[in-house]
Structure 1
Amino acid sequence: MNPTKIGPARDLLTAGLSNSAIARQLHVDKHDVATLRTEMGLPNVPAQPLTVEQKWRQRVRPAVGGHLEWTGERATGSGTPVMRHSGQAYTAARIAYRIKHGTDPQGYAAPGCGMRHCVSPDHIDDLPRRQRDRAALRIVHGKPGRPATCRHGHDQAEHGQYLPDGTAYCARCSADRKKVGTAR
């Protein structure tokens, strides 16, 4: 462990924080914290049985504009805020949606506020809510209604969706294009 981090780590150990919490806060290896704990003769902190929502609340901080920023783990590649609880993985947005609405989202949960990866429960929408809002935006912009079928004949009542700007598209065609791209 970096010598400049030993003093703060000792203080946090004495204050009763867990090895993982100290490692996260000081950006050090939790095994180094465990070694320091043993040297100090301190027992391990008993696991705290938090609910998934309580654990989620420990990993957010306020940001400008009423947004909430995720301070926890992120998925590799996409950077999506994620969290593990009782052996199960969750997206932070899914938990935020459940906090606000009391139910799990239909489809994937995502912020509708425009801030990438915002996890404020007030800003998270599920697929039906996003599509409803985007359809309304389409009307406000004076765009025509969505056609009954796409150019490939897919029923748009089933496969039709909207982009954030209200542009209509066929989710089935989009999925088919991705399959072809992946196969190459």
Structure 2
Amino acid sequence: MSRGVPRADIVALLGDGLSNSAIARQLGCDRHRVGGIRGELELPNVVAQPLTLEQKWRSLTRPLEGGHLEWLGERVGKSRTPVMRYKERSFSPAGIAFTLQHGRQPEGQVKAECGVRQCVAPAHVEDEPGRRRIREQLRRILGGPELKDHCGNGHDLFVHGRLSPDGHHAYCEACKAERKRAEREAPV
């Protein structure tokens, strides 16, 4: 099959700066033949231009109705948490979205606040301080009581305090983690 492709066609695409693999795909010929012709012409190999972190992130999202973005990339764990690997590191797609929206690195875990599970639209995600601020504002608007400084077990609620999405229910994340740990360690 590859011998049927005229050499001139390969040379023309080499002149356009395409890689051996791209030319082979386009013409339906063997990439080694393309590489041989490249070598004969003493043309350098094309250096792959890797995507930036943002470009890769954008390539793995799909728009949904309502301005939401669905993550199409890798997911891990039982909760199928979105993850993106880039240059031998793992990144949170929601964290990347947060940085795109706010121009800074997030603090703590980043989650969608739009009601769509694991949405990664930049305008729909918040980090822990942002979530707390939004939920405290909602709590005040709805006439909820002031939040305490410490829980019944003495944990600092500025650090460990959390609010439900509607701002109504306040709880201590440290106490919740301790309860879960005790449940796991309890004899069956």
Could you tell me how far 1:104 is from its partner in structure 2?
A: 1.2
Task: Determine the structure 2 residue equivalent to 1:157.
Answer: 158
Local SS of the residue matching 2:162: strand
Return 83-92 or 173-182, whichever deviates more. Answer: 173-182
Letter in 1 for 2:115: G
- Pairing 1:49-60 to 2, within 5 Å after superposition: 49-60=50-61
Change (3 A) 1:178 1:40: farther
Aligned partner of residue 57 in structure 1, secondary structure: helix
State the shift of 1:178 in Å: 2.0
Instruction: Kindly report which structure 2 residues correspond to 1:161-172, keeping only aligned pairs within 5 A, or say none.
Output: 161-166=162-167, 167-172=169-174
Counterparts of 2:123 and 2:179, CA distance in 1:
33
State the partner residue of 2:102.
Answer: 101
Range moving further from structure 2, 40-49 or 128-137: 40-49
**Segment drifting more, 97-106 vs 121-130:** 97-106
Q: Please report the TM-score for the alignment, with normalisation by the length of structure 2.
A: 0.72
Q: Which region of structure 1 is more displaced relative to structure 2, 174-183 or 162-171?
A: 174-183
Quick one: distance in 2 between partners of 1:72 and 1:16?
24
Q: Which amino acid aligns with 1:50?
A: L
**Letter aligned with residue 171 of structure 2:** Y
Q: Distance in 2 between matches of 1:116 and 1:158?
A: 25
Q: Distance in 2 between matches of 1:148 and 1:74?
A: 37
Aligned residue for 2:175, secondary structure, equals helix
1: distance between equivalents of 2:94 and 2:108? 12
Q: Name the CA shift for 1:159/1:97 in 2 (closer, same or farther; >3 Å).
A: same
Q: Which runs of 5+ in 2 are unaligned?
A: 1-20, 36-45
Please give the alpha-carbon distance, in whole angstroms, between the structure 1 residues aligned to 2:55 and 2:77.
24
* 1:94 Cα deviation from its structure 2 partner: 0.7
* Partner Cα distance (2:64, 2:47) in 1: 32
| 1: CA distance, partners of 2:80 / 2:29 | 37
**Aligned pairs, how many?**
152
Q: Aligned equivalents of 2:69 and 2:173: distance in 1?
A: 30
Task: Please state how far the C-alpha of 1:171 moved relative to its aligned partner.
Answer: 1.4
Structure 1: tracts of 5 or more residues without a match = 1-14, 18-35
SS at 2:62's partner residue?
strand
SS at match of 2:85: strand
Helix, strand or coil at the partner of 1:72: coil
- CA distance in structure 1 between the partners assigned to 2:48 and 2:77 by the alignment: 27
Structure label with greater radius of gyration: 2
TM-score, with normalisation over the residues of structure 1? 0.73
